Amino acid sequence: MVQANIIAIQLLLLVPLNFPGAGIIALLIGGASAFLLAYLLTIAIRKLSYKLGWLDQPSPRRVHTKAVPRLGGIAIFMAFVIASLLFYAPGLPDPKAQNNEIVIYWLLIAAATLIVIVHAYDDVRGLKPLTKLIAQTIAVLIILGPWDGVFHGILLFTFNNPFGAAHMSANLPWYREPTFLLFLPPATISQLPAIGFSAIPAVLLTWFWTAGMMNTVNWIDGMDGLATGVVGITGLFITLISFMLGQQSIAVLAAIFTGATFGFLPHNWHPARIFMGDSGAMFLGLGLAVLSIMGGAKLALALMVLGVPILDVAIVIINRIRRGQSPAHYDKTHLHHRLMATGLSVRQICYVIYSVAIVFGLLALGLSGIHNAHLYKFIGLGLVGITMAVLIIWIDYRQRQRGVRIKLDGPDNGNGNGNGVTHYTGSLPHDEMNIQNHELEQHSHIEPLEQSNTANLPNNVRPIIKYE
């Protein structure tokens, strides 16, 4: 096993950090450089994809109508790696944290390399879900850094108790302790968590958080610019809160991550000229999972900013399992599909979800550092759930207002074949609309319209997906 002192090499810095304000300058230059690199590398990847024929072809499962390159994630990853090697100085301003941060950084690069390679192959050739899940699990094992009897990487084993006392004392009951522990922590901060059976719950939770974050980003990447923007906003708030907490080096790394993400957005904005693909979505999810744990105090922020997409994924998975389907079963029941069914455009949907993420990011930022912050962040997470409920109620209201009942509880009419039923609505006479709605409600199964029929529809008629 490679020793930590071999991994802990001095990274190249282009900005000296020994004068006032240098941290902000390094943060800005690192983020701007990553943005520019991602923007330029995306152009190169796009041209290469067209030359080699690595394109995402239109299909019933896709929204786009022409072939589009799908390897934009490689550009994001390359921009992050190059910019971080140039501008990331681990451990600043605390030299004691340098070795640990360097190890975590290289573990992240190793895990991300594996994820990008495997899922880039999936973008081009296709892989089974189990194969991808195995690759994600190996990536989690890599970022744990288990060697020499301890975990050198990231490990989720403590949680702040929102109802706990401000300070620890010997007579406190367990439910009033400031921090919940999944297993006994190291005796001192300088020691690392030991590998053992008692660490299994923490390892499983770290796997759940990291793999869950990767798949959450992947599943919300169903609309031009949506996942890119949401991840960029989350990265921005992780940057800000890290800087506020004095975690200067982590703030710079988060700024580089954010810059690389936003550098891809102009190419991915509707109508997208390139997609990030699974390689990009999985890398962004992995980066968010690691950055939200590095240095601590950012897990609640990530949950608040990404709360609505995470709840959306949870609801979709529960509904699929309830219908006897695999959690990976394809359908169009995600929040962005539901919002599109209300008549909103792709850009309007992005604006709605961006706005929710920004509001909760600002709320989490404002709660950091205040008295009883853990309790208020817990309340903030409750507000995320309320917001999700309000969105669902509003979507239902919009559908009823448009005069068409659209059931989005399944793609396959109960037979598990994954075929959606496509109906069209537009400038129909009122009586004809009522007849159509009545007929839809009376049928438990309607055969899909032939795809060739859609070409003869009037321009003012828009497709609506109805799922029985």
Range of the structural domain that residue 235 is part of? 20-303
Look at residue 468 in the predicted model and tell me its pLDDT.
31
Q: In this structure, is residue 2 part of a structural domain?
A: no
Q: In this structure, is residue 330 part of a structural domain?
A: no
Q: In this structure, is residue 458 part of a structural domain?
A: yes
**Which of 253, 271, 303 lies at the terminal end of a domain, its last residue?**
303
- Find how far residue 373's CA is from the centre of its chain: 25
CA distance 327 to 342: 25
Containing 22, the helix (H) or strand (E) segment is: helix 22-52
Q: What are phi and psi of 137, to 5 degrees?
A: -65, -40
With a cut of 90, say whether residue 229 has pLDDT above it. Answer: yes
Look at residue 22 in the predicted model and tell me its pLDDT.
66
Look at residue 49 in the predicted model and tell me its pLDDT.
94
With a cut of 50, say whether residue 368 has pLDDT above it. Answer: yes
Between 56 and 252, name the one with better pLDDT.
252
With a cut of 60, say whether residue 16 has pLDDT above it. Answer: no
The mean predicted confidence, pLDDT, of the chain is 79
**CB proximity list for 32: less than 8 A, separation 6 or greater:** 259
Task: Give the confidence band of 91 by pLDDT, cuts at 50, 70, 90.
Answer: confident
Between 93 and 324, name the one with better pLDDT.
324
CA distance 426 to 432: 11
Between 280 and 459, name the one with better pLDDT.
280
CA distance 213 to 140: 11
Between 55 and 297, name the one with better pLDDT.
55
Task: Give the confidence band of 410 by pLDDT, cuts at 50, 70, 90.
Answer: very low
**pLDDT tens digits for range 412-468:** 443 333 333 333 233 333 333 333 333 333 333 333 333 334 444 444 444 443 333
CA distance 168 to 380: 24
Residue 169 and residue 27 in one domain: yes
**pLDDT tens digits for range 448-457:** 333 334 444 4
With a cut of 70, say whether residue 266 has pLDDT above it. Answer: yes
Look at residue 26 in the predicted model and tell me its pLDDT.
84
CA distance 388 to 310: 10
Look at residue 20 in the predicted model and tell me its pLDDT.
55
Look at residue 328 in the predicted model and tell me its pLDDT.
76
**Spatial contact of 34 and 256, defined as CB atoms under 8 Å apart:** yes
Q: In this structure, is residue 5 part of a structural domain?
A: no
3-class DSSP state for residue 419? coil
CA distance 8 to 61: 46
Task: Give the confidence band of 292 by pLDDT, cuts at 50, 70, 90.
Answer: very high
Residues of 347-360 as b/e, b for ≥16 C-beta within 10 angstroms?
A: eebbebbbebbbeb
Token reading at 283: 């890398």
Nearest to 360 by CA among 348, 372, 368: 368
Per the DSSP assignment, residues forming a β-bridge with 31 are none
With a cut of 50, say whether residue 99 has pLDDT above it. Answer: yes
The percentage of residues in the chain with a pLDDT greater than 70, rounded to a whole number, is 75
CA distances from residue 328 to 22, 130, 139, 266, 465 in whole angstroms, order as listed: 46, 10, 20, 29, 20
Q: In this structure, is residue 396 part of a structural domain?
A: no
Q: In this structure, is residue 374 part of a structural domain?
A: no
Look at residue 407 in the predicted model and tell me its pLDDT.
52
Distance from the first to the final alpha carbon of the chain: 55
Look at residue 284 in the predicted model and tell me its pLDDT.
98
Look at residue 190 in the predicted model and tell me its pLDDT.
57
- Mean pLDDT is highest, among 24-38, 54-68, 320-334, 403-417, for 24-38
Q: In this structure, is residue 66 part of a structural domain?
A: yes
With a cut of 90, say whether residue 207 has pLDDT above it. Answer: yes
Region of 461 please: left (phi>0), alpha (psi -120 to 50) or beta: beta
CA distance 283 to 285: 5
**pLDDT tens digits for range 304-359:** 999 999 999 999 899 888 888 878 777 778 898 889 888 899 999 999 999 999 99
Task: Give the confidence band of 57 by pLDDT, cuts at 50, 70, 90.
Answer: confident
**Spatial contact of 288 and 303, defined as CB atoms under 8 Å apart:** no
Look at residue 447 in the predicted model and tell me its pLDDT.
34
Look at residue 450 in the predicted model and tell me its pLDDT.
37
- Count structural domains, the chain: 2
**Which of 237, 268, 303 lies at the terminal end of a domain, its last residue?**
303
Token reading at 85: 């090697």
**Which of 237, 271, 303 lies at the terminal end of a domain, its last residue?**
303
CA distances from residue 202 to 37, 151, 152, 209, 420 in whole angstroms, order as listed: 36, 11, 14, 10, 40
Token reading at 264: 């891809």
**Spatial contact of 281 and 289, defined as CB atoms under 8 Å apart:** no
Between 421 and 383, name the one with better pLDDT.
383
Region of 277 please: left (phi>0), alpha (psi -120 to 50) or beta: left
- Mean pLDDT is highest, among 52-66, 219-233, 447-461, for 219-233
Token reading at 224: 């031009």
CA distance 315 to 307: 12
Per the DSSP assignment, residues forming a β-bridge with 179 are 160
Q: In this structure, is residue 360 part of a structural domain?
A: no
For residue 257, count other CB atoms closer than 10 A to its CB. Answer: 32
CA distance 306 to 309: 6
Q: Find the mean pLDDT for residues 42-65.
A: 83
Residues of 329-341 as b/e, b for ≥16 C-beta within 10 angstroms?
A: bebbbbbbbbbbb
Look at residue 459 in the predicted model and tell me its pLDDT.
44
110: exposed, middle or buried (Cβ count in 10 Å: 0-12, 13-18, 19+): middle
**pLDDT tens digits for range 153-184:** 999 887 777 777 767 777 777 767 777 777 66
Look at residue 356 in the predicted model and tell me its pLDDT.
96
